Amino acid sequence: MCKRNYVEITCKSAINRVQGMPFKWSLNPYRGCTHACHYCYARATHSYFGLNADEDFETKIFVKKNLPEVLRKELAKPALAGERISIGTATDPYQPIEGKYRLMRRALEAMLDYRHPVSIVTKSTLVQRDLDLLVEIAKVSEVIVFFTVTTVDDDIWRAAEPGTPSPHKRLQALQRLREAGVPASVFMAPVLPGITDSVESIEAVGHAAKAHGAVSFGASPLRLAPMVKEHYFDFIRANYPSLSRKYELTYLGSNANRDYLERLNERIAQAIESTGFNRNSMSKLKADRYPPPAHTAPVKPQVEQLLLMP
């Protein structure tokens, strides 16, 4: 394993305005991520520091050490009152170093003090550490935790997301949040062409989400921006060489071709419906809409991978 280097930096702003996304404001305590997901679109952001999207992104992590203090100043501004802030939309706010720096813990304390609505995206089980704060925020404002689960197949998980907790542990963490009354969802992002894009694969994640009490389930296609694309194609050549040429034909740009996307969207819609979720429920935040489930049961479905790409 490569040695990790953590660099403490200061930030002028904690909250960032976002364009072209389903959320307007984001917050990311860290740059770079030891989860090392090969498809991560944030890999390209390391180029801003003159670093690469490969090993540098996974081992050179920037820590915004003053983020909680800056956040409190920004939350005090009337213009942000009631505006939902999305945390972890670039790199995971609960990657292992959070255990030391506790930036998320302190950020959530600020959110609670200001009764501010918040959503969190994570692949980490460390979010359970802050369950007490999430429960309190849910009482006075709006909160939801999105667990990214791209697969329930252990072999694919180990190859594609080598630094993350297993998807089954993530689902168990989700279940614990739900039992405490905190809204929590599963987002299958991204769906990997030729690897996790079969109906069976998507439904397997959906069924697992349902079994663990998720309030919603959604999925989205893989996007390969420059630098991310080169890294991901290397991953495909090393782990799924038979798919290499198909990826080259399907991803002429950053997005897959229209024919593939149309067929994938149909499969996602079918899977959401067949697993008993509402296609329009992903953005709801109110805890009182989602009381704790009466019971949930873990499942580890066996899935058959089907190639969707031409």
Residue 209 lies in a domain: yes
Residue 99 lies in a domain: yes
- Give the pLDDT mean for 223-233: 96
Give the least confident one: 34-43, 47-56, 92-101, 211-220. Answer: 47-56
Residue 296 lies in a domain: no
For the stretch 58-87, pLDDT in tens is 999 999 999 999 999 999 998 888 889 999
- Both tokens of 130, joined, read 């802050």
Residue 160 lies in a domain: yes
DSSP label at residue 283: T
pLDDT higher than 80, residue 226:
yes
What average pLDDT does the structure give for the chain?
90
* Inter-CA distances, 51 with 8, 14, 160, 232, 260, Å: 16, 22, 22, 17, 33
Alpha-carbon distance 296 to 115, whole Å? 30
pLDDT higher than 80, residue 54:
yes
What is the DSSP pairing of strand 5-9 with strand 60-64? parallel
Per DSSP, helices labelled H in the chain are 55-59, 67-75, 98-101, 103-113, 131-140, 154-160, 167-179, 199-211, 228-239, 244-250, 258-274
Q: Which residue has the higher pLDDT, 204 or 281?
A: 204
pLDDT, residue 83, reads: 87
Domain tally, the chain: 1
- Is 112:255 a contact under the CB 8 Å cutoff? no
Domain of residue 282, residue span = 5-289
Phi, psi of 180, rounded to the nearest 5 degrees: -90, 0
pLDDT, residue 219, reads: 96
| Radius of gyration from C-alpha coordinates of the chain | 19
Q: What CATH number is attached to the domain comprising 145?
A: 3.20.20.70
Partnered with residue 219 across adjacent β-strands are: 188
Residue 212 lies in a domain: yes
Residue 137 lies in a domain: yes
Q: Which residue has the higher pLDDT, 51 or 175?
A: 175
Residue 249: CB atoms within 10 A of its CB come to 12
Three-state DSSP class for residue 22: coil
Q: Which residue has the higher pLDDT, 1 or 133?
A: 133
Residue 147 lies in a domain: yes
- Is 244:234 a contact under the CB 8 Å cutoff? no
The one-letter amino acid at 92: D
Residue 294 lies in a domain: no
Residue 164: CB atoms within 10 A of its CB come to 24
pLDDT higher than 70, residue 297:
no
**DSSP of 80-108, one letter per residue?**
GTT--EEESSSS-TTSTTHHHH-HHHHHH
pLDDT higher than 80, residue 237:
yes
- Give the pLDDT mean for 206-232: 97
- Both tokens of 165, joined, read 């907790």
pLDDT, residue 158, reads: 98
